[in-house]
Amino acid sequence: MALISCPECQASVSDTAMKCTHCGVQLRKPTRSIFGKLIKWTFIGFNALMALWLWAGMKAASTAIDATTSGAEQAGAAIGTGIGAALVITLWVAGAVILGLFVMFTRPKS
Protein backbone atom coordinates (compact mmCIF):
# COMPACT_ATOMS: atom_id res chain seq x y z
CA MET A 1 0.00 0.00 0.00
CA ALA A 2 1.73 3.09 -1.28
CA LEU A 3 0.94 6.73 -0.69
CA ILE A 4 0.04 9.06 -3.51
CA SER A 5 -0.61 12.77 -3.49
CA CYS A 6 -4.15 14.04 -4.03
CA PRO A 7 -4.44 15.98 -7.32
CA GLU A 8 -6.70 18.55 -5.63
CA CYS A 9 -5.15 19.28 -2.21
CA GLN A 10 -1.74 17.53 -2.56
CA ALA A 11 -2.27 15.58 0.69
CA SER A 12 -0.85 12.05 1.05
CA VAL A 13 -3.51 9.43 0.47
CA SER A 14 -3.43 5.64 0.11
CA ASP A 15 -3.38 4.42 -3.48
CA THR A 16 -6.31 2.08 -2.69
CA ALA A 17 -8.57 4.88 -1.43
CA MET A 18 -11.60 5.82 -3.52
CA LYS A 19 -11.74 9.41 -2.21
CA CYS A 20 -9.26 11.78 -0.63
CA THR A 21 -9.64 11.74 3.15
CA HIS A 22 -8.85 15.45 3.36
CA CYS A 23 -10.84 17.15 0.59
CA GLY A 24 -13.16 14.34 -0.58
CA VAL A 25 -12.24 14.45 -4.27
CA GLN A 26 -12.89 11.23 -6.22
CA LEU A 27 -9.59 9.42 -6.86
CA ARG A 28 -10.81 6.17 -8.42
CA LYS A 29 -14.08 5.08 -9.96
CA PRO A 30 -15.65 1.98 -8.35
CA THR A 31 -16.07 -0.96 -10.73
CA ARG A 32 -18.59 -3.80 -10.86
CA SER A 33 -17.62 -7.34 -9.96
CA ILE A 34 -17.74 -10.08 -12.58
CA PHE A 35 -21.14 -11.18 -11.23
CA GLY A 36 -22.40 -7.57 -11.42
CA LYS A 37 -21.24 -7.26 -15.03
CA LEU A 38 -22.94 -10.56 -15.89
CA ILE A 39 -26.21 -9.35 -14.34
CA LYS A 40 -25.97 -6.00 -16.15
CA TRP A 41 -25.43 -7.61 -19.55
CA THR A 42 -28.19 -10.13 -18.85
CA PHE A 43 -30.53 -7.19 -18.20
CA ILE A 44 -29.50 -5.49 -21.46
CA GLY A 45 -29.81 -8.73 -23.43
CA PHE A 46 -33.22 -9.51 -21.93
CA ASN A 47 -34.59 -6.10 -22.92
CA ALA A 48 -33.17 -6.41 -26.44
CA LEU A 49 -34.65 -9.90 -26.79
CA MET A 50 -38.06 -8.78 -25.57
CA ALA A 51 -38.08 -5.79 -27.96
CA LEU A 52 -37.17 -8.13 -30.84
CA TRP A 53 -39.85 -10.62 -29.77
CA LEU A 54 -42.53 -7.92 -29.64
CA TRP A 55 -41.49 -6.47 -33.02
CA ALA A 56 -41.39 -9.91 -34.71
CA GLY A 57 -44.74 -10.87 -33.18
CA MET A 58 -46.40 -7.69 -34.38
CA LYS A 59 -44.92 -8.11 -37.86
CA ALA A 60 -46.14 -11.72 -38.08
CA ALA A 61 -49.56 -10.76 -36.74
CA SER A 62 -50.00 -7.96 -39.26
CA THR A 63 -49.08 -10.37 -42.05
CA ALA A 64 -51.60 -12.89 -40.74
CA ILE A 65 -54.33 -10.26 -40.48
CA ASP A 66 -53.69 -9.15 -44.07
CA ALA A 67 -53.91 -12.76 -45.29
CA THR A 68 -57.40 -13.34 -43.86
CA THR A 69 -60.42 -13.06 -46.12
CA SER A 70 -63.43 -12.43 -43.90
CA GLY A 71 -64.11 -9.72 -41.35
CA ALA A 72 -64.60 -12.30 -38.58
CA GLU A 73 -61.16 -13.78 -39.22
CA GLN A 74 -59.60 -10.32 -39.16
CA ALA A 75 -61.36 -9.47 -35.89
CA GLY A 76 -60.23 -12.75 -34.32
CA ALA A 77 -56.65 -12.22 -35.48
CA ALA A 78 -56.67 -8.66 -34.14
CA ILE A 79 -58.00 -9.79 -30.75
CA GLY A 80 -55.41 -12.58 -30.58
CA THR A 81 -52.67 -10.13 -31.49
CA GLY A 82 -53.76 -7.77 -28.72
CA ILE A 83 -53.81 -10.56 -26.14
CA GLY A 84 -50.40 -11.83 -27.29
CA ALA A 85 -48.89 -8.34 -27.19
CA ALA A 86 -50.29 -7.77 -23.70
CA LEU A 87 -48.73 -11.03 -22.48
CA VAL A 88 -45.34 -10.20 -24.00
CA ILE A 89 -45.39 -6.70 -22.49
CA THR A 90 -46.42 -8.09 -19.08
CA LEU A 91 -43.58 -10.62 -19.18
CA TRP A 92 -41.21 -7.87 -20.31
CA VAL A 93 -42.14 -5.54 -17.45
CA ALA A 94 -41.95 -8.30 -14.83
CA GLY A 95 -38.55 -9.50 -16.07
CA ALA A 96 -37.19 -5.97 -16.37
CA VAL A 97 -38.23 -5.15 -12.80
CA ILE A 98 -36.66 -8.31 -11.38
CA LEU A 99 -33.43 -8.01 -13.36
CA GLY A 100 -33.32 -4.27 -12.72
CA LEU A 101 -33.37 -4.93 -8.98
CA PHE A 102 -30.46 -7.35 -9.40
CA VAL A 103 -28.57 -4.71 -11.41
CA MET A 104 -29.24 -2.15 -8.70
CA PHE A 105 -28.11 -4.47 -5.90
CA THR A 106 -24.89 -5.45 -7.70
CA ARG A 107 -23.77 -1.91 -8.58
CA PRO A 108 -20.38 -0.86 -7.29
CA LYS A 109 -20.15 0.72 -3.88
CA SER A 110 -18.00 3.79 -3.38
For residue range 59-92, list pLDDT tens digits in order. Answer: 999 898 888 889 899 999 999 999 999 999 999 9
Total number of domains constituting the chain: 2
| Boundaries of domain holding 54 | 31-110
Residues 17 and 37 in one domain: no
φ/ψ of residue 20, rounded to 5: -70, 135
Residues 19 and 35 in one domain: no
Residues 41 and 79 in one domain: yes
Residues 109 and 58 in one domain: yes
Residues 20 and 46 in one domain: no
φ/ψ of residue 5, rounded to 5: -95, 140
Residues 24 and 47 in one domain: no
pTM confidence score: 0.73
Residues 37 and 26 in one domain: no
